[in-house]
Amino acid sequence: MTDSALDVAARIARGESSAVDELEVCLARIRRHNADINAVVTLDEAGARAAARAADALRASGGPLPPLLGVPMTVKDAFETAGLRTTASHPPLAHYVPASDATVVARLKAAGAVLVGKTNLPELASTPQCWSPLFGPTRNPWNPALTPGGSSGGSGAAVAMSFSYIDPGSDIGGSIRIPAAYCGIAGLKATENRIPRSGHIPHLPGGRRSVRHLLSFGALAPSVADLQTALTVLAGPDGLDVEVPRVPIQTVSPPGRPLRIAWWDDFGGLPLCRRTRAALARTVAALEAAGCVVERRCPDGFDVVKAWQAYGWLAGTEIGLDMPALARRLIAVMGRFITRDQPIAHAFVQGLALDAQRYNRALNRRDRMVRTLESFLDSWDIWLCPVAPTTAYPQSELLWWRRPPDIPVDDAHLPFVEGAIGMVTPFSLTGSPVVVLPAGVEDGLPVGFQFVGRRWQDEALLATCAAIERVLGGCPPPPRLLDHA
């Protein structure tokens, strides 16, 4: 593993390094590698150096120090940053400069983090790859021909390359979890509504809000300890996002007994590639050898295909509410060519019809699946599942009027949407907290797994994942970073 955010903060706090020095190391990496990776799309060297000098002055003052003092951070370009361009990769926002920070950005700055720049994403965070119409593609640090995942693909690549040590993410269909897995880092999708969305695009600045479900926030970082700090910093109401309740941060330790871990690998019949299968077998064996109780189990009645349908209906309806009628009609026409092997895409197009009865059916199905999963987790500390059927795959520009290319899984091919997000959307539907942990490298590419916990019990999930991280050992840095260490 590379340095963590807390490693950097500790060095600065002890006087072994300065915030200015730590920043310059990151800027040097960006200068050396970003042209090849294209993770950072807006760099603020002057602002970062001023913030780093202020962090060093605060440390020299002898007062109490915030938890991320001097830690270089990047920010997904979907979050507004005061005085710094925020585009969400949406051409009409190419020159948009917000007057204030998104809540997550303001809170990370208040915790001492130093904003280095903004990271790439697909237009309006809309796809599980990272191809921007403004900035082009972000490339996977392990293999530039492959995707880093999306939509927080620039975030995942930046943290993996140690351009920064923490980057806040948003996740409606794996947008934190997929980049974490494909780039070999840790990621947290907190419980839905645990972290405010204020200042996140979409919705568009000054526009109405339509998405009320499925969207969660969190962070990408090198370690679980970093994610624990991020949750402490980011969670809680801000007086703007009225759906965020006041849930106090709890101090939680792992259970004082062997961990009980259920695992599952059958999501609607989606196959797993040989790398993912090998990593899953190795992970299960390592957890068993560490004394955990590990069983292949799935909640009774947790129907993945029905979850896909409900997810598609909800996403299509809520996203469609803010789309022009003509755009919805055009997509509906294209939807006639969707085949039966694309259930998520088909349900999304159905959702665009804005049928209130279908929408209500989806919400009721969501309620049942939440109850089913929560009841299952009464008996297990955590549920271990793959993030995707395959490791990172070849990236291509996705255009709404053209069927996206299938995703290769060894000798098979999966429809793009189902192959990309079929294993993450059930937990977007339930709003569950999920941590992604790297489980090593198979044949030159990192593999990560989802660890699903109970709603509103993010702290317990993270404490359990900290114990699991010690067993799995994390992931080494990408070879290109080691070559220039």
The rounded distance, in Å, linking the Cα atoms of 145 and 290 is: 37
Told to judge if 175 belongs to the known catalytic residues of this protein, a careful annotator would answer yes
Token pair listed for 48: 């970062």
The rounded distance, in Å, linking the Cα atoms of 483 and 124 is: 34
Q: Which residue among 76, 109, 118, 306 is the active-site one? A: 76
- The C-alpha angle 202, 207, 209, rounded to 5 degrees, equals 65
Instruction: Quickly count: other Cβ atoms within 10 Å of residue 63's Cβ.
Output: 7
Told to judge if 17 belongs to the known catalytic residues of this protein, a careful annotator would answer no
By CB neighbour count within 10 A (0-12 exposed, 13-18 middle, 19+ buried), where does 39 fall? buried
Q: HSE-up of 140 (CA within 13 Å, CB side)?
A: 27
- Name residue 73's beta-bridge partners: 115
The rounded distance, in Å, linking the Cα atoms of 255 and 463 is: 9
Alpha helical stretches, state H, 129-273: 153-160, 177-183, 224-234
Instruction: Quickly count: other Cβ atoms within 10 Å of residue 171's Cβ.
Output: 28
Q: Which residue among 89, 155, 175, 216 is the active-site one? A: 175
Contact status, residue 137 vs residue 395, Cβ threshold 8 Å: yes
Q: Which residue among 151, 152, 155, 170 is the active-site one? A: 151
Four-residue CA torsion sign, 355, 359, 362, 364: negative
Give 480's contacts (C-beta < 8 A, 6+ positions apart).
Answer: 33, 36, 141, 161
Told to judge if 151 belongs to the known catalytic residues of this protein, a careful annotator would answer yes
Three-state SS for 245-287 is CCCCCCCCCCCCCCCEEEECCCCCCCCCCHHHHHHHHHHHHHH
Report the largest interatomic distance among the alpha carbons of the chain, rounded to a whole angstrom: 66
Q: Active-site residues: which are they? A: 76, 151, 175
